[in-house]
Amino acid sequence: MANINELMTCFSFGKQADISTAQTVGSMWRLTNLNRKPWAQNPVSEDDAVETGKGHEFAVQLFKSHYAPPEYEIQKYLSAEFAAWAFGFGLGNVVKSGTTPNFIYTITPILGATNPTGLELPYSTYVQQIRPGGSAVLDQLFKGCAVSSVKLALRNSPGRGSAMLTAGLVTTGQYTEPSTITMPASTPVHEMQAGGMTLTINGIDYVTSKNFLTLDWGWSNNFRSGWFPGSGSQDGFQTQGRFEIGDRAHGLSFTARFANGSSELTKLRALTTGTAVIVLTNDTNNNLTITEQKMAFKVAEIGEADGIVTVSVTGSQLYDTTNGLVTIVAKTAFDGICQ
Amino acid sequence: MQKDTVFMKSGEGEIREVEATPEVLTPLMAAGWHQHHPEKSPVAPAEEGK
């Protein structure tokens, strides 16, 4: 029996050389996770029930099939370090500049035509342990982990929960057990709460007007299946050999108070476009700026929250011919993220 | 103060050193450029006897 509070995890902030080569412990950091579940491995077997010739409809034999680990979420309070990691591995085109203590990660979505690894994003390594050593309950290293989705949630509540960042991970099924990893010391992070944010959408400064309530930012890579002849196997179970981006999806929605002069409906009717700039700050060296390059409003619905008239807006992110879809700048003192 | 610069490489292989600001990097990255890390210059061996 083991208590889930004994679960320890670390994962690589540096990218793997390729999908099947695990990162070393020197490129791993140990961060906490609000998701209390371990990452399931899920080996899948199949049987011969549908085959005729046995004289009955029941299965008599089992066969090894494949590893099908589900998407696993790392759920964290927003920090500069984890933001650089999640957006870097999730969007893929990362430019690192700056020096200690102010590294700057400028991040945009990859273009499959020019990305050095084609349709594949950088891969990370994930380790989970419960009582590692001679009597380990769990001690696994997963290779070839790719960020399939990123979700940023900003809420009108106090505390760390006001800004949450979640990264959804998938993995090939390739693993090492025991991991042989000595868990590094906990990595300090610089968290950023919604109370210090600035926000301008389509020409409106929502923070100065004190009208902002919530915002949800989402990204999905919609990975294509990584099964193919030659994709690999371990223990006789097939593993996936690639995670290629599919038709990626990106969304931004928000809710604000609706008052005299609120322009959301007018802008939707006029199909007005503009940038949306979200800034969250810990300090000068640790902050996050998300710039939607060309945003219009798809839906603007009048409603109510806590007795106040509101407008809930679903954005329509357009691809700007010069600046693309979205640019993310994460500043942190931590070096080597997604490098 | 010296400006922070990075090397960028286009899909066609052109390499350019540019200022590392979002205003400069964003149009390049949107056009498919990515960061280029030039090979480090080999360190000259130390002369014997010195």
The answer to whether the CB atoms of B34 and A98 lie below 8 A apart is no
What mean pLDDT is predicted for residues A266-272? 95
Q: Which two tokens stand for residue A289?
A: 């700026």
What are the pLDDT digits (tens) for A276-320?
Answer: 999 999 999 999 999 999 999 999 999 999 999 999 999 999 999
What are the pLDDT digits (tens) for A144-183?
Answer: 999 999 999 999 999 999 999 999 999 999 999 999 999 9
Task: With H, G, I as helix, E, B as strand and everything else as coil, classify residue A43.
Answer: strand
With tokens 């050593």, the residue in question is: A133
What mean pLDDT is predicted for residues A256-269? 93
Mean pLDDT computed over every residue of chain A? 97
Q: Which residues neighbour B2 within 8 Å (Cβ) at sequence distance 6 or greater?
A: none
Q: How far away is chain A from the Cα of B20, in angstroms, using its nearest Cα?
A: 6
| Residues in chain A closer than 8 A to B5 (CB atoms) | 97
DSSP assignment of A215-241 equals EEEEEE--PPP---TTS-EETTEE---
By Cβ distance, the residue of A97, A99, A325 closest to B6 is A97
Q: Which two tokens stand for residue B8?
A: 């960028």
Q: How far away is chain A from the Cα of B9, in angstroms, using its nearest Cα?
A: 10
With tokens 């700026």, the residue in question is: A289
Stretch (H or E) spanning A148: strand A138-154
- Rounded CA gap, B10 and B7, in Å? 10
User: Phi/psi at A189 (nearest 5 deg)?
Assistant: -125, 165
| Whether A22 contacts A176, CB under 8 Å | yes
Q: How many helices (H) and strands (E) are present in chain A, helices listed first?
A: 2, 21
Q: Number of CB pairs < 8 Å for A and B? A: 62
Looking at residue B38, its pLDDT comes to 84
Q: Which residues neighbour A195 within 8 Å (Cβ) at sequence distance 6 or greater?
A: A158, A162
The answer to whether the CB atoms of A95 and B11 lie below 8 A apart is no
What are the pLDDT digits (tens) for A72-93?
Answer: 999 999 999 999 999 999 999 9
Say if residue B40's pLDDT is above 80. no
What mean pLDDT is predicted for residues A245-256? 97
The answer to whether the CB atoms of B34 and A323 lie below 8 A apart is no
Give the mutation candidate from A91, A94, A108, A329 for the B interface (greatest B CB count, under 10 A).
A108
Sheet with A237-238, strands from edge to edge, namely A43-47, A62-67, A237-238, A233-234
User: Phi/psi at A80 (nearest 5 deg)?
Assistant: -65, -40
What are the pLDDT digits (tens) for A171-215?
Answer: 999 999 999 999 999 999 999 999 999 999 999 999 998 999 999
Indicate the pLDDT class of residue A218, thresholds 50, 70 and 90.
very high
- Rounded CA gap, A296 and A303, in Å? 20
Q: Which residues neighbour A74 within 8 Å (Cβ) at sequence distance 6 or greater?
A: A11, A31, A33, A35, A82, A86, A166, A167, A169
- Rounded CA gap, A93 and A254, in Å? 26
What are the pLDDT digits (tens) for A89-112?
Answer: 999 999 999 999 999 999 999 999
Query: Could you give the C-alpha distances from A199 to A166, A202, A207, A303, B36, in angstroms and in order?
Result: 20, 10, 6, 21, 33
| Residue in chain A nearest B26 by alpha carbon | A323
* C-alpha count within 13 angstroms, C-beta hemisphere, residue A325: 17
Looking at residue A17, its pLDDT comes to 97
- Rounded CA gap, A276 and B45, in Å? 53
**What's the angle, vertex CA A52, arms to CA A48 and CA A55, rounded to 5?**
100
Eight-state DSSP code of residue A177: S
Q: How many CB atoms lie within 10 A of CB B48?
A: 5
Indicate the pLDDT class of residue B3, thresholds 50, 70 and 90.
confident
Indicate the pLDDT class of residue B39, thresholds 50, 70 and 90.
confident
Interface of B with A (CB under 8 A): 4-6, 8, 10-11, 20, 22, 25-27, 29-35
Give the mutation candidate from A106, A278, A290 for the B interface (greatest B CB count, under 10 A).
A106
In terms of phi and psi (left: phi > 0; alpha: psi -120 to 50; beta: otherwise), the region of A173 is left
Q: Which two tokens stand for residue A75?
A: 């759920």
The answer to whether the CB atoms of A114 and B34 lie below 8 A apart is yes
What mean pLDDT is predicted for residues A56-69? 98
What mean pLDDT is predicted for residues A327-338? 97
What are the pLDDT digits (tens) for A6-33?
Answer: 999 999 999 999 999 999 999 999 999 9
| Residue in chain A nearest B8 by alpha carbon | A95
Q: Could you give the percent of chain A with pLDDT greater than 90? A: 97
Partners of residue A303 on adjacent β-strands: A310
Looking at residue A257, its pLDDT comes to 95
